[in-house]
Amino acid sequence: MYAVKEVFYTLQGEGWNAGTAAVFVRFAGCNLWSGRDKDRERDAARNGAECPRWCDTDFVDGTRCSTDDVVSMVGALVDKHDALPLIVLTGGEPLLQVDQPLVDALHAAFPRAMLAVETNGTIDAKVPLQSAHGIEWVCVSPKVPAARLRIRSGSELKVVVPAYSPADYAEVADGFDHLYMSAEAQTLEVGRSVIVADNLTRAAVWCMEHPEWRLTLQSHKIIGVP
């Protein structure tokens, strides 16, 4: 059984696959923040992470779902199962829950979809990563110092500024196919935030000075889709 917060159909807003139609499966729970406003400062101090102070994602509680339930929820959102290009496992921290039976079931039901994960990189995966038999696309957005990362290679490394600095992840950068910077949004409340122009400018300047990095925008917030 899995604790699932929501399953929704949208466009991937960031990174290499930006603009691609995708079903997102958001898992409840995270190892760095409880998801509750009252715990932001406590969990930031406890876990040595800045993200509890500004994370805007609602991943609290969720519904208990079986493997078949998850597959059915994904399938209910798309008309042509064999044409779905991308399934994104996200959270919270999805690797707390994602396992081989779920991955196998999604691959079987949606054979043309690439299976991706968005993770903070601090949890050892229970499935093969960057593998056709596991999760094919791996995006690590680090929220702790590089020395504490368990996943040190993947498809994308996405650093959120100004809370984190790309320079702090130089020791793992070579393990990733693509390097991205994303501008921290201003959280208005859990589930709602706005893009900050100053943070975008800061990220853009870094990318111009360090062209091995690319700027990625949270285009889903600009477009107005989930």
Tokens read off for 79:
């008309």
Q: Is residue 176 a contact partner of residue 157, using CB atoms and an 8 Å limit?
A: yes
Nearest of 190, 182, 138, 139 to residue 163 by alpha carbon: 182
Tokens read off for 10:
């949208």
The CA dihedral of 206, 207, 212, 217, to the nearest 10 degrees, is 130
CA–CA dist 122, 182 (Å, integer): 19
Catalytic residues: 24, 30, 51, 55-57, 118, 220
How do strand 137-140 and strand 114-119 relate by DSSP bridges?
A: parallel
